[in-house]
Structure 1
Amino acid sequence: MSDQYDDVPGSSFTERPADLITTDITADLLRGALELERTQHGVLPHRLPARARAQCADGQLAMAEAQPSGVRLVFRTRATVVELDTLPTKTVYLGAPPRPDGVYDLLVDGRPAGRASAPGGNALIVDMTTGSAESRPGPVGTVRFAGLPGQVKAVEIWLPHNEVTQLVALRTDAPVEAVPQGGRKVWLHHGSSISQGSDAASPSTTWPALAASLGGVDLINLGLGGGALLDAFTARALRDTPADLISVKIGINLVNTDLMRLRAFTPAVHGFLDTIREGHPTAPLLVVSPILCPIHEDTPGPSAPDFSDLSAGRLRLRAAGDPAERVAGKLTLGVIRDELSRIVKQRAAEDPHLYYLDGRDLYGAADFVELPLPDQLHPDAATHCRIGERFAELVFRTGGPFAAERS
């Protein structure tokens, strides 16, 4: 699948017309966020509620949940010009080449119509060798889309999936109105950085966003880079979020953090699913095991960085565990798949709406040969497209777990 944005225009701010209308950015203009925080600059979308954030002081989780993967502005307008002021936070890794700025995708009536990035922004300076980080303030930037068709249309601006993004101002050359919720089923998904969209080309081309588009559903993406750890506060967020279809992708973060052993894993999965079922007792619930990741198929974590090619812009990962430690209960992806399959089979005897999908059906051994994981862990843009298409085919289409319920 080629990049659907190859031939569409987009630009960053150059000159501001004087007659644009400013519209307050409120919750009714946003999809995919669980909460909005008012800041001194504007609003900050969150993908975990304040109560959940208060229960974990992990900086990685705080950054991931404030990176608005799947969050988009949605409105109806005749405007031919749309400007969005934002204050992004961009991550800079010392010793490595600069990372590209986050991408904003414009969709008009559901079709790609522009792509741009915001200049300026805050910087988070990370020293990978020591783990230290320093924040440096920066200016607000503006993303501008012009030359849009003048008829009434639905406009979506997908926010960067990999940059913390404060929304400062929305300006257009015609009034905007919110698009009422409804008409399509809501798909609530939770997973790791792969689900958040790590190394995807843009926010609307992460694999969950592509799968949602192909499946004809509205996405709420709780993919959390480094944060798919069976946390109880995440389970409660899933429980309390209205949704028609739910999926949870479990495994890779538990291995690459070396967080728990098999003895803790099994009851933690049961507890996670029990909590979700408290709020969604009969919704289709799909448990997805990890995609293929050769370094951790049979070798436990933790994952460790390989700095040998960092100066060339390539950071790879390696498995730092010992395969012999599996007998002591250390987790590998193979162990996790076997246990997830067993758990779902056990529970499905009393829960007919519970399903299991082996992640290797989305990305397996043959795919690794054709499309290897660049850093040994995360899929690239082309692989996101493949995973999204396969998920839609296996899950949303005829015979899939979500097929009957998405109409």
Structure 2
Amino acid sequence: MSITEPLPITTPVTADLLRGALDLERTEAGLLPHRLPAWARAQCADGRLAMAEAQPSGVRLAFRTRATAIELDALRTRTAYRDAPPRPEGVYDLLVDGTLAGQAAVGGGHVLMVDMTTGATEFLPGPVGTVRFAGLDGDEKDVEIWLPYNERTELVALRTDAPVTPAPDRGRKVWLHHGSSISHGSDAASPTATWPARASLLGGAELVSLGFGGSALLDPFTARAMRDTPADLISVKIGINLVNMDLMRLRAFTPAVHGFLDTIREGHPETPLLVVSPVLCPIHEDTPGPSAPDLSGLAEGRIRFIAAGDPAERAAGKLTLHVIRDELARVVEQRSADDPHLHYLDGRELYGEADFAELPLPDGLHPDAATHLRMGERFAALAFGAGGPLATA
């Protein structure tokens, strides 16, 4: 069959073929996976959160098939920055029986053009694109197609040259994780190379990722979404967005953490729950937020962030990463006296001073691709390994 001819079997993309999404929206183009339910989205008008939760970090199609060729039509929405070089395209990862077997980009799609100097945006429409994987063996196999973590993705059509059935339950524990842009993916190489995806694959867990760029802000609706989502293992990574958004003071932070954990516990009273503090970020270790972009290198594709707060303001309760780590450790120690399934992990065990010396944060805030892999490997060992708080064995 020519690669220009459509494959003969079209299978509707339905909920039983998708993992990692909490909601599905039928659009004019197709099916849009969401990582927050509709009622939660209705409680927040923030455009950054709306963009982040509709980018399918951790979302994948999962099915059984003997197909030797697979095509997926999708309509993507990419973010681009005016007067800056294009950002890398989103990647689709093909896993066959758990092993990476192909990577491709879909092409076409809409572009949301952002002017970093003014904040203005322009929507540039584009066509549906197709990603194709061919040359697979004809044996019955588990297939997963992990969607790009950094592109809003409307799924239009799935075509194969052999029938498709939903992937069976393999008995893996479901891991529900919430965090910031670092958990969302930041500058990871591909969707299975974000640190949560890497950790889940190494640890044998089924990931549900609620990593939202710029939006790990102790929002009550996120806690309620986690409360209502079936899970065997839960983690929450708290801190960096509260500092770089300069969202609250210590007086509000501590009760908000308690409230967030209380809400999760309403639906998961005895589920292992791991609180993870921020990884090392030197600009905000002792200097409060907000973070501010340095756009002097924008034309060369370089954006860096600086801490715009004043260290003296810590006395008035402004948050730094050191303050947050100390308070999270104290809160978990206090609560664990009555909650033996609650645990704490210092984020610097995933990325600390020695790592920064070897693999500095390229923009001052976000880890690079190699660091994502390192963090995922460390989390898998520390959390999912034998004796770990989220042991999957």
Q: TM-score, normalised by structure 2?
A: 0.99
The runs of at least 4 consecutive aligned structure 1 residues that moved more than 4 Å come to none
- Corresponding position: 1:146 with 2:134: yes
Q: Distance in 2 between matches of 1:30 and 1:182?
A: 15
- Corresponding position: 1:220 with 2:208: yes
Q: CA deviation at 1:137?
A: 1.0
Secondary structure at the residue paired with 1:290?
coil
Structure 1 segment 179-328 matched on structure 2, within 5 A: 179-328=167-316
Q: Distance in 1 between matches of 2:58 and 2:7?
A: 31
- Corresponding position: 1:80 with 2:68: yes
- 1:49 equivalent in structure 2: 37
- Corresponding position: 1:30 with 2:1: no
Q: Distance in 2 between matches of 1:50 and 1:44?
A: 12
The one of 106, 114, 121 aligned to 2:102: 114
CA pair 19-338 structure 1, distance change in 2 beyond 3 A:
closer
The one of 25, 46, 53 aligned to 1:58: 46
The one of 355, 360, 370 aligned to 2:348: 360
Q: Distance in 1 between matches of 2:168 and 2:89?
A: 31
Secondary structure at the residue paired with 1:299?
coil
Q: CA deviation at 1:126?
A: 0.2
> Counterpart amino acid of 1:315?
I
Over residues 351-383 of structure 1, what are the superposed CA-to-partner deviations in whole Å (9 max), with x where a residue is unaligned?
000000000010000000000000000000000
> Counterpart amino acid of 1:60?
R
Over residues 88-139 of structure 1, what are the superposed CA-to-partner deviations in whole Å (9 max), with x where a residue is unaligned?
0011100110111100000000001000001110010000011111111110
Over residues 271-295 of structure 1, what are the superposed CA-to-partner deviations in whole Å (9 max), with x where a residue is unaligned?
0000000000000000000000000
- 1:350 equivalent in structure 2: 338
Secondary structure at the residue paired with 2:123?
strand
Q: Distance in 2 between matches of 1:133 and 1:23?
A: 36
Over residues 246-295 of structure 1, what are the superposed CA-to-partner deviations in whole Å (9 max), with x where a residue is unaligned?
00000000000000000000000000000000000000000000000000
Secondary structure at the residue paired with 1:272?
helix
- Corresponding position: 1:161 with 2:149: yes
Over residues 59-90 of structure 1, what are the superposed CA-to-partner deviations in whole Å (9 max), with x where a residue is unaligned?
00000000000000000000000000000001
CA pair 282-19 structure 1, distance change in 2 beyond 3 A:
closer
- 1:372 equivalent in structure 2: 360
Identity %: 76
Q: CA deviation at 1:402?
A: 1.2
Secondary structure at the residue paired with 1:124?
strand
Q: TM-score, normalised by structure 1?
A: 0.95
The one of 326, 338, 353 aligned to 2:326: 338
- 1:5 equivalent in structure 2: none
Q: CA deviation at 1:182?
A: 4.8
> Counterpart amino acid of 1:226?
G
Q: CA deviation at 1:398?
A: 1.7
Contact 2:7/2:159 (CA < 8 Å) preserved in 1?
Answer: no
Q: Distance in 1 between matches of 2:128 and 2:386?
A: 46
Q: Distance in 2 between matches of 1:398 and 1:69?
A: 27
Secondary structure at the residue paired with 1:273?
helix
Q: Distance in 1 between matches of 2:183 and 2:105?
A: 22
Q: Distance in 2 between matches of 1:16 and 1:286?
A: 49
Q: CA deviation at 1:179?
A: 1.2
Q: Distance in 2 between matches of 1:303 and 1:43?
A: 35
Contact 2:7/2:71 (CA < 8 Å) preserved in 1?
Answer: no
CA pair 19-32 structure 1, distance change in 2 beyond 3 A:
closer
**Which residues of structure 2 form unaligned runs of 5+?**
none
Q: CA deviation at 1:15?
A: 3.7
Q: CA deviation at 1:180?
A: 2.8
Q: Distance in 2 between matches of 1:364 and 1:92?
A: 31
Secondary structure at the residue paired with 1:169?
strand
> Counterpart amino acid of 1:163?
E
Secondary structure at the residue paired with 1:218?
strand
Q: Distance in 1 between matches of 2:144 and 2:88?
A: 22
Q: CA deviation at 1:16?
A: 3.2
Over residues 300-334 of structure 1, what are the superposed CA-to-partner deviations in whole Å (9 max), with x where a residue is unaligned?
00000001111111100000000000000000000
- 1:395 equivalent in structure 2: 383
Aligned residue pairs, count = 392
> Counterpart amino acid of 2:310?
D
Q: Distance in 2 between matches of 1:181 and 1:265?
A: 39
Q: Distance in 1 between matches of 2:36 and 2:322?
A: 30
The one of 113, 116, 119 aligned to 1:131: 119
Q: Distance in 2 between matches of 1:331 and 1:18?
A: 55
CA pair 154-125 structure 1, distance change in 2 beyond 3 A:
same
> Counterpart amino acid of 2:60?
R
> Counterpart amino acid of 2:45?
A
Q: Distance in 1 between matches of 2:80 and 2:7?
A: 37
Q: Distance in 1 between matches of 2:313 and 2:3?
A: 61
> Counterpart amino acid of 1:351?
D
